A and B are shown apart, each in its own frame.
Chain A
C-alpha cells in the first residue's frame, strides 16, 4: 500500500520538476527571444448603437496582445478599450468605436496590434441592437412558438392515425423518425462546426462540438437506461422530444441571429419553412407511442412543449449578441441528444421487429423518407 503511494507521488514530483525547469530555468529562451510574437484576436460579438460600434474581442498569443489602433472602413478611428487595450492570453476586452455607421450597410473593422498585425472583422449588415420591450419580446416569443411548438403539436395530431395503422405503418413511421433524426444530427453538427470555427483557435470550438456531443450521448444513454431497461413508449417519446428540443434551441439561436442581423426580410419564409420542416418532428415523437395505451392530453402537451419551446428561448437569446463558442457548445449538446434518440429508437425497433427491421422494406423506406423529407423541407428555410 505504501509502495503504490510512492508511484503516484513520484510522477507528480517529476512533472512539477520538469515544468519548473521550463518556466524558471527558461532553457528555451534562446529559441523564443528572437522569434516574433504570435498573436491572434477574435471578435466574438458586435453590438451596434447609434453612432457607436462596440466589439467584444478575445486575444491569444505568446504574450499579452495590445490593440494599438483601430480602422473602420479603411480609416483610422478614435476608440476606447475597457478594461484595457492590452489583453492577456485568452482574456477579453470591449472596444468602443464612435462611428457614424449606416443602417443596412456593410462595415469593415480592422484591429491593429502593437506589432503591426491586423485582424479584420466584417459587419455584414449593420443593424442597431433593438431595445427589448414588451411588444418586441412578445413578437419574438411569437416567432419562437411558431417555429417550434406549433409544428410539433401539429405533427402530434397524427397520433391517432399512426395508432390505428398496422404494424408495417408503425415500423415505417419509426424508421422515418430515425431518418429525420439522422438528418437533424448531421445538420446540427454542421451548424456547430461552423460556429466553432469562428471562436479563437485555442478554444478549439470545433472539437468542443464533438466532445459535447459525445458527453451528452453517454450521459443521456446512461440516464435513459437507468434501472437496466431501455426507454420505450412515453419515456422514449420523452427522450425524442428532449433531443429535438435541444436541436430546436440551436435552431432558434440561428433564426434569432438571422433576424437580428438583417435576414428580417426573410422572416415569413423562415417561419413557414420551419413549420413544414418541424411538423415531421412531431410525427417522430408520436411514433413510439403507437403500440401503447393512449397517453393523456397533458402528456402530449408536455412533449410538444419540451420539443418546441426551446426554439422560442433560442430566438430570444439569438437576437442578442451570441458568443460563437457557447453557441457551438450548445449545438454539440443538441447533436449528442439527437444521436441518443437515434440509438434508442433503432434499439426499440429491433426489439420489436428483429435485427433486420431497419433494412426491411418498411424500415428502409422510412429512413430514406425521413432523410428526404427533412432535406426537402429544409430547402424552404
Chain B
C-alpha cells in the first residue's frame, strides 16, 4: 500500500516542511536538521539516472558472483551453438537413420550464482541437447531414464500416437528405456519436452530442449536458396551465425512463480559475457519459449529489426521488419537479422516484459 501520493510529493513535502517548522513538533520524519533531505525528496525521480551514469548503465541490476559452469557440466556460451546432429546409421532394412541417445538425469544445478536447484535434465543440461536433422530423414531417439522419476520425450513434430511420449505411449520408468521413431517433418524450429505428470513440475524442473528440422533443398525448388541457407552442412549455411536460444525460467522455491528468467537457463549469462557477432555475416536465432507459469515471453532486439518465421515452417518470413516478438509456451520461431554496416559495440536483447528482463532475461550482442 502506498501511503504517500508520489505525484504530488515534492510539493506536499516542501509545504510539510513549513508546517513542521510552525508546529515545532512534526519535523522529525520530515527534514528538520537534514540538509540533504529536501534535495533528496525533490530529486527522487532522478535517482535512477544519477545512479546509472555513475555505475555504467545497467550495472547494479544483476546477480552477484559467478556460476561454476564446469561443475554444472554445461556452459551457456557453448549451448548457443552446440547442435547435436546425432549419428547417421543404417537400420536392418538398409534405410538411413539418424540416431541419438538421450539420458534423463536428476542433477543439482547452480541455477544462478550460489543458488542451487534440484533439476531434472536431459543429458545433465538445461536446456537438453539441441537435436538437429534434415527434413524427410528417419529418426530414432533412444531415451534412457536414469532419473528417479518416470519421464518421456514428447516431440513437437509429426508422428504416430505410439511415439507421442505421453502417459500410455512412450512413458519410461526409472531404469528403463524407449526408442522414439518417426520421420523428420515438418521442417522448422521445434522442441521436445517431458510429458509426464504433473506436467508443470516436469517442465519447470528442466526437461525440455530444441528440435530443429532443416528444410531439404531438393524438396523446395521454388525457394531453393532459402532452404540451402537453412540446411546445415551447406556452404550457404556456413555463412550464417546460428544460435539456439531457449527462453526459460526457474522457480527455486516452488511457489509456481519464477525467481529467475533467462535464455538458456543462466540469468544475465550473455549480459556479462556478450554473444560475439561478426558484422559481415547474417544472424539466425532459433528461438523457443518454454517458460512455465507465465502466459508469454518475448524477444526484443535493440537498434535493429528482424524477419520472423513462426515455427520455422516456412521459407518466407511470417513477420517482416519487427524488433519484438512474443511467444506463448511451446511457441517458437526463427529470427533472421544482420548487423552489416552497424557501428561495432554492445547491442542489447531481452524480454520486453521488464519484469523478466530485471530477473535475468537480459543479454548483449557484441558486434565486431
Interface, chain A (partner B; CB < 8 A): 50-51, 66, 68-71, 74-80, 85, 98-106, 112-118, 124-125, 127-128, 130-136, 139-140, 142-143, 146, 259-265, 267-268, 271, 319
Contacts and interface: CB of A to CB of B under 8 A. Distances in A.
Interface of B: 1-4, 6, 9, 13, 16, 20, 23-30, 32-34, 36-37, 40-41, 44-45, 47-48, 50-51, 55, 59-65, 111-117, 252-253, 259-260, 267-268, 355, 358-360
A66 B114 contact: yes
Nearest to A51: B51
Contacts of A103: 9, 13, 40-41, 44
A271 B26 CA distance: 10
A102 B1 contact: no
A76 B44 contact: no
B33 A102 contact: no
Contacts of B260: 76
B59 A78 contact: yes
Contacts of A78: 59-62, 64
Given A69-B115, A112-B259, A128-B40, A260 B29 contact: yes
Contacts of A113: 115
A146 B25 contact: yes
Nearest to A258: B29
A106 B1 CA distance: 7
Contacts of B65: 68
Nearest to A114: B114
A267 B9 CA distance: 18
A314 to B, nearest CB: 13
Nearest to A98: B60
A268 B111 CA distance: 52
Contacts of B55: 98
Given A103-B44, A259-B29, A68 B112 contact: yes
A118 B33 CA distance: 38
Given A136-B28, A260-B28, A117 B253 contact: yes
Contacts of B37: 128, 130
A75 B28 contact: no
A204 B148 CA distance: 40
Given A50-B36, A102-B47, A130-B37, 12 more contacts: A74-B355, A74-B358, A75-B61, A76-B260, A100-B47, A100-B51, A103-B9, A106-B2, A127-B29, A130-B33, A259-B29, A264-B29
Contact of B259 (A114, A118, A140, A267): A118
13 contacts: A50-B36, A51-B47, A51-B51, A68-B115, A77-B60, A80-B64, A98-B60, A114-B116, A117-B252, A136-B32, A139-B33, A264-B20, A264-B27
A281 B55 CA distance: 56
Contacts of A69: 63-64, 112-115
B228 to A, nearest CB: 43
A76 B267 contact: yes
* 6 nearest CB pairs, A to B: A116-B252, A264-B29, A75-B358, A68-B114, A100-B47, A136-B33
B28 A267 contact: yes
A259 to B, nearest CB: 4
A79 B360 CA distance: 16
A76 B36 CA distance: 28
A318 to B, nearest CB: 10
Contacts of B41: 103-104
B116 A116 contact: yes
B253 A118 contact: yes
Contact of A102 (B3, B36, B44, B268): B44
Given A117-B252, A136-B34, A265-B16, A105 B6 contact: yes
A128 B31 CA distance: 10
A89 to B, nearest CB: 19
B99 to A, nearest CB: 36
Contacts of A106: 1-3
A68 B50 CA distance: 27
